[in-house]
A and B are shown apart, each in its own frame.
Chain A
Amino acid sequence: NAGVMQNPRHLVRRRGQEARLRCSPMKGHSHVYWYRQLPEEGLKFMVYLQKENIIDESGMPKERFSAEFPKEGPSILRIQQVVRGDSAAYFCASSPVGTSTDTQYFGPGTRLTVL
């Protein structure tokens, strides 16, 4: 039973390029969360999605960042025109139902480096 999968594990981009991060939730999970961890910081919530729906994007920067979770395929976190400050570890988590006591299971993360 595979866990949450994220790819790529490492991504290097130059300033102004686009970054696409992928997340496949655990089998049977229909809720996906994205978090960002800056160096020496805790994880910061970005967005919560269900299939084809963005439920809560209160943690997403207003510009350049977008997320989707299509009916088929992985969830995608897209960062347009990356800047050095976007360098961070991006973690995806999934849960089966999305209730208040629903544990979120995390993937290994994608480490984005912007040159």
Chain B
Amino acid sequence: DQQVKQNSPSLSVQEGRISILNCDYTNSMFDYFLWYKKYPAEGPTFLISISSIKDKNEDGRFTVFLNKSAKHLSLHIVPSQPGDSAVYFCAASDYSGGGADGLTFGKGTHLIIQP
């Protein structure tokens, strides 16, 4: 039972254009969402997060949008750069809801930035 879903296993974007990575969740108790980036043979690196009380958070080239009614969030990267090529994981938590204290991850989307 996947509570966090990333339906696109891979995404190819041209350098300089916008990359949009999508994530859907089913657990309405999730109250905090994060995006991690992962290179092969390395651990995930934190990118950006958003609390359920907000609908947008921006940090440099990265913006995360949250649509609670649709249980959907997205990560926008603009402009995309070659170093952005990696696997991106969406993660969620429901600490305040009394659920597990760990993060629930999606399966990841492999972003490929084409020159």
Q: Write the residues of chain A forming the contact surface with B, with a CB cutoff of 8 angstroms.
A: 4, 6, 33, 35, 40-48, 55-56, 58-59, 91, 93, 98-101, 103-109
Q: Write the residues of chain B forming the contact surface with A, with a CB cutoff of 8 angstroms.
A: 4, 6, 31-32, 34, 36, 41-46, 49, 51, 89, 91, 93, 95-96, 100-108
Interface centre among B32, B51, B96 (most CB of A within 10 A): B32
Q: Which of B42, B51, B104 contacts A45 (CB 8 A)?
A: B104
Known contacts A48-B101, A48-B102, A58-B100; is-contact A101 B49 (Cβ 8 Å): yes
Chain B residues lying within 8 Å of A56, measured Cβ to Cβ, are: 100-102
Beta-carbon nearest neighbor of A49 in chain B: B101
**In the complex, are the beta carbons of B100 and A59 less than 8 A apart?**
yes
**In the complex, are the beta carbons of A43 and B101 less than 8 A apart?**
no
Known contacts A42-B4, A101-B32, A103-B34; is-contact A59 B95 (Cβ 8 Å): no
**In the complex, are the beta carbons of A40 and B43 less than 8 A apart?**
no
Q: Which of A42, A55, A98, A108 contacts B106 (CB 8 A)?
A: A42
**In the complex, are the beta carbons of B95 and A100 less than 8 A apart?**
yes
B109 nearest CB across to chain A (Å)? 11
**In the complex, are the beta carbons of B100 and A104 less than 8 A apart?**
no
**In the complex, are the beta carbons of B96 and A100 less than 8 A apart?**
yes
Residue pairs across A and B with Cβ atoms less than 8 A apart, 24 shown, are A6-B43, A35-B102, A35-B103, A40-B107, A42-B4, A42-B89, A42-B105, A43-B44, A43-B105, A45-B102, A48-B100, A48-B102, A56-B102, A58-B100, A91-B44, A100-B31, A101-B32, A103-B34, A103-B46, A105-B46, A106-B43, A106-B46, A108-B41, A108-B43
Chain A residues lying within 8 Å of B103, measured Cβ to Cβ, are: 33, 35, 43, 45, 104
